[in-house]
Amino acid sequence: MGVLLTAFAAGPLQANCYFVAADAGAECAIVDPGMDSFDGVKAVVAEHDLKPVAVLVTHGHFDHMWDAARVADEFGCPLWIHPADRHLLADPMAAISGESAAMLRQQIGEIDQSQFAEPSQVEDAVEGAQIKVGELTISVDHCPGHTPGTVAYRVDYTGPEPVSQIMFSGDFLFFGSIGRTDLTGGDHGEMLTSLREKVLALPDDVVVLPGHGQQTSIGREKQTNPYLSELSS
């Protein structure tokens, strides 16, 4: 079915926060409400008269989940995250190494860990899970490599554009690149396996909405992304 999609980039690292619903005035899911996103989330919900019923976190890095618990509790809905990254909701710095933490402090200052905690409702975003959002059904793909608990979310699309599905890829797949694997919990071998099994198997017409930067498609990435070219050669 056709879907309502809107987004904005939040915080110093400009992480994309997405909203997906069947239409204005319908139930919606909010994907990756990260740092400095709370006011923007409330504005988008009010603008489109949306009814949030799920907060979907692609992985536990702070720029994607900083405001996730607050947003989930604000709207009384569950937060979905893979169990392998769940501990990062309360301790996001556990995923940041010493060198990276020092660079991070230069960008955003000291982080007050006491502000982080799990929301009232947490659900497991595991491989094959199906999340109902009004008339939409969102599927979960476990894609470890960037973090152990990285997931992508896919929803069917039957609107006027020649698109079969939309994928929210977080920091798993980008326009022309992939997620880094040198942070705590990253694993390049797992990343390559995830790309082979969860990207190369998808149709070319799937639109990819990444955690940072511009949208792309599975077909474009198969043709031009050097990391995927190596896997398919």
pLDDT of res. 160 = 83
pLDDT of res. 182 = 87
Regions of the chain short of the pLDDT cut 50: none
pLDDT of res. 124 = 98
Instruction: Kindly list the structural domains of the chain, giving each domain's residue range(s) and its CATH number in brackets, ordered by start.
Output: 4-232 (3.60.15.10)
Q: pTM for the whole thing?
A: 0.94
Cα–Cα separations (whole angstroms), residue 117 to 87, 103, 125: 9, 24, 18
Contacts of 6 (CB under 8 A, 6+ apart): 18, 19, 44, 48
